[in-house]
Amino acid sequence: MTASETRLRADAQRNRDQIVAAAREMFAAAGPDVPMEEIARAAAVGVGTLYRRFPDREALIRAVARESFAEVLADARAAAAEEPTAWDALVRLVGRSHQLQASVQLALVSERARNILEDDPQTAAFRDALMAELDAIVEAAQAEGAIRADVGSGDVAILFSLVLRQPPAVVDPEMLAFERAAVLMLDGLRSRPGTPLPGRPITGEDLRFG
């Protein structure tokens, strides 16, 4: 392979990576119906370049889903192996909000994306492996006495999807709205809740609507 061919291949891979990264951020924030032109702009590539890498929205959704699930799965396995308790592993996993957000938007929130992904065996394999890992973490945390006995990993996944959806716009991002919601969610799973919340109470006046 010539130096020119190597450079072209590296450029193509970089463009692809930028497109997937931009799409993942935008899908997480607004769902998978974001205009392709906006994704190309965010990725700093032309629309033609985007369509050369991904001929349609379905191909891009599949690529984002596979990479998002793969990263969350790697995070879950690392957390289970490295944290001192299963509860700590779950808290760490919840903290990985960006990858989780994209995965949740694609797998649980968006009906269009679910229809696209339901027949994709690679996405299904990642999703099944992630749920198996979550099963193991939840069961281990219950054996530790950290999580209430009357919930399952499906309950946790549903709570993830609710917390990770975009909340109403918050005037001050330093209010730690997501972090507060995550602590409330995790506390509801605990057999003995009572974790102090970060930040200060968020009032109705702190939220912007419409």
Q: Does residue 184 lie within any of the structural domains?
A: no
Give mean pLDDT, residues 92-117. Answer: 76
Instruction: Reply yes or no on whether the pLDDT at 182 is more than 90.
Output: no
Instruction: Reply yes or no on whether the pLDDT at 108 is more than 70.
Output: no
Q: Does residue 38 lie within any of the structural domains?
A: no
Task: Tell me how many domains the chain contains.
Answer: 1
Q: Does residue 11 lie within any of the structural domains?
A: no
Domain of residue 162, residue span: 57-166
pTM more than 0.85:
no
- To the nearest whole percent, how much of the chain has pLDDT over 70? 84
Pairing of strands 169-170, 207-208: antiparallel
Q: Does residue 61 lie within any of the structural domains?
A: yes
Cβ atoms of residues 73 and 66 within 8 Å: no
174 Cβ neighbours under 8 A, 6+ residues apart: 199
Give per-residue pLDDT as tens, 31-46.
Answer: 889 999 999 999 999 9
Q: Does residue 142 lie within any of the structural domains?
A: yes
Give mean pLDDT, residues 68-92. Answer: 93
Cβ atoms of residues 120 and 174 within 8 Å: no
Q: Does residue 186 lie within any of the structural domains?
A: no
Of residues 163, 152, 32, 145, the one with CA closest to residue 96: 163
Instruction: Reply yes or no on whether the pLDDT at 210 is more than 50.
Output: no
Q: Which pLDDT value is given to residue 203? A: 64
Instruction: Reply yes or no on whether the pLDDT at 118 is more than 90.
Output: no
Q: Does residue 4 lie within any of the structural domains?
A: no
